[in-house]
A = this chain, B = another copy of it.
Amino acid sequence: MQDVSETRLTFKAATLRRDSLQQQIYDHLRSDIMTGVFRPGETLSSRSLATELGVSAMPVREALTRLTTEGALELTTSRTLRLRLLTPEDFDEITAIRTDLEGMAAERAAEQITGDSLARIGKLNDDLTAAANSGDADRYLKANATYHAEIYKISGWPLLLSMIERLWLIVGPSIRTCVPDRDHMATSQGFHDAVMTALTKGDAKAVRAAIVDDIQTAAHDIRAFLASGQKH
């Protein structure tokens, strides 16, 4: 592998050096973790990932180290890396921070939004609704992640976005294990529609409230799941 995401552009990517190999691997793993490709507690080894991707162990290792620093992975006593397991207390903490930061990003996005970006969010919301109706959990999770991320990007605050993404990185696997639920998708879509109407009206406080409701409703389901004893 020279380019993790697009194997057909291998040579071009290797020549132009779009990013370092390590960066590509990091981005790839990060995206996979956020969207729930890996399960909580699943172990990741640098060597096996390296052979799987066709590179040396080093760039994989550095990517995994970065993910460990960010709290997505944890080092077990037996020196193996695994996806972090969240306690209900961990989850409460993350939810509190998420409502604060995502609420701030959403409110600011509402103040900064332009016609173009509003239209783009509208389209992403349609995609999200379609994904929810299709019942395809993977598709829904990906659409949900991009929908939220695009809103927060409008805030114009990249550091804020990166901190929010770090939180997603930690809760992503847990979300994946319990969200494939049609009821959850339906109620969540209600909040997303509320976000859209508030955005079009330019009501920043209402946008924040709808985002916070979305997070807390999802958190309620996930917390119940975590407390009930995790079945991975």
Contacts and interface: CB of A to CB of B under 8 A. Distances in A.
A93 B163 contact: no
Say which size band chain A's interface belongs to: 20 to 34
Interface in A36-79: 62, 65-66, 69-71
A104 interface: yes
- Copies of this chain present in the complex amount to 2
Contact of A159 (B26, B65, B71): B71
A159 B90 CA distance: 8
A96 B100 CA distance: 11
A89 to B, nearest CB: 8
B93 A159 contact: yes
Nearest to A68: B66
A148 interface: no
A157 to B, nearest CB: 5
A101 B62 CA distance: 29
A97 B65 CA distance: 26
A31 interface: no
A163 B160 contact: no
Interface of A: 22, 26, 62, 65-66, 69-71, 90, 93-94, 96-97, 100-101, 104, 157-160, 162-163, 166, 170
10 contacts: A65-B65, A66-B69, A93-B157, A93-B158, A93-B159, A96-B157, A97-B104, A97-B160, A97-B163, A100-B104
Closest 4 CB pairs of A and B: A93-B157, A66-B69, A100-B100, A93-B159
Given A66-B66, A163-B163, 17 more contacts: A22-B65, A26-B69, A62-B62, A69-B69, A71-B159, A90-B159, A93-B157, A93-B158, A93-B159, A93-B160, A96-B104, A96-B157, A97-B104, A100-B101, A100-B104, A101-B101, A159-B170
